[in-house]
Amino acid sequence: MKTVIITGSGGLIGSEACKFFDQQEFNIVGIDNDMRSYFFGEDASTNWNVKKLQQELSNYTHINIDIRKYEDIEKIFAEYNSDIDLIIHTAAQPSHDWAAKEPFTDFTINANGTLNMLEATRKYCPTATFIFTSTNKVYGDKPNSLPLVELEHRWEVDENHAYFKHGIDENMSIDNSKHSIFGASKVAADIMVQEYGKYFNMNTASFRGGCLTGPAHSGAELHGFLAYLVLCAVNRKPYNIFGHKGKQVRDNIHSKDLINAFWEFHQAPKQGEVYNIGGSRFANISMIEAINMIKDISGHELKYTLLDDARSGDHIWYVSDVRKFQNHYPNFSFEYDMRKTLSEMITAAETK
């Protein structure tokens, strides 16, 4: 039986991958030590999701280790060795706000942890596919230099700009911008994933995600804006919007759509590739638009406060141009637009 190793298996993308590859009859090795509760508190713990995976998936094995410890990672790879067909590396410190509090923790998880996974792959299963969940924060605050126009409920890039029709492509520079400490650690990991592909001829890809979302997201104020927004609306909890009048725009890709993209890549992997991946023009929304859509769908009215201080380096407008991936993998298509995604997330929040 083919084996897939999935780090961050209790998280949004990791757990979605576990469920998908269980259906594909893979042997699944999930690695997760619930660092999310350390970052964001017990409300953000992923333990509930791990227990669910253990109960529901017949092919799932859970291993509670820290990806910063190479000797522990190596033991797993040595055990499964040539059976390993795919690695999906989602484990991370995911918040640019939190990273500034503990830069060493952030960097050793995001950069060193990724290097550990790459090196174990090279040593034990060099022909396996290696998929890394990178981030649009590798571009730093460069998107904020675009010509932006303020509309009633959102910011938008000027209609005459090259990025207006399809969004931001992979040619945007990652240099000379403010990334946040988190963004810088993810840049280091992103570049190493590319380098292992190009230098060692391994099947690696960095997927530079916009907002990754879905009902399994353990949303927190410092990470997972849409999930936390829905939780606050459903539970009548006040919400703070940091700057930009609540008109900041994000594209959102549902976890199922992202895993389908991973599957397409695995069918015909490339070496050292980079893809911008997000909801694109198909699924993007501002915070104010999201608040209004939640009310329209469910009747839940969010009480929020607009704060003047924006998060340092925060994107005002970001929409992913996914045409490069779609050109390489024409079988990929989106299933979840914003309304379908929010409807599913609201239902999940109401039943928790």
Residue type, 155: W
Q: How far is 217 from 286, CA to CA, in rounded Å? A: 19
* CA 302 to chain CA mean position, Å: 25
Give helix 287-298 / helix 225-234 axis angle, nearest 10°.
40
Q: Determine the pLDDT at residue 219.
A: 64
Spatial distance between the Cα atoms of 11 and 92, rounded to a whole number of angstroms: 10
- pLDDT tens string, the chain, 352 residues long: the values are 899 999 999 999 999 999 999 999 999 999 999 999 999 899 889 999 999 999 999 999 999 999 999 999 999 999 999 899 999 999 999 988 899 999 999 999 999 999 999 999 999 999 999 999 999 999 999 999 999 999 999 999 999 999 999 999 999 999 999 999 999 999 999 999 999 999 999 999 999 999 999 987 766 665 667 888 999 999 999 999 989 999 999 999 999 999 999 999 999 999 999 999 999 999 999 999 999 999 999 999 999 999 988 887 789 999 999 999 999 999 999 999 999 999 999 999 998 7
What would the two tokens of residue 101 be? Answer: 């509090």
* Cut 0.85: pTM above it: yes
Number of domains in the chain: 1
Domain span holding position 104 = 3-350
Rounded CA separation 304/11 (Å): 27
At 220 the pLDDT is 64
- Provide the pLDDT for residue 310: 83
Residue 225's pLDDT is 75
CATH of the domain at 158: 3.40.50.720
Residue 311 token pair:
């998060």
User: Cβ neighbours of residue 56 under 8 Å, at least 6 residues apart?
Assistant: 19
The pLDDT value recorded for residue 189 is: 98
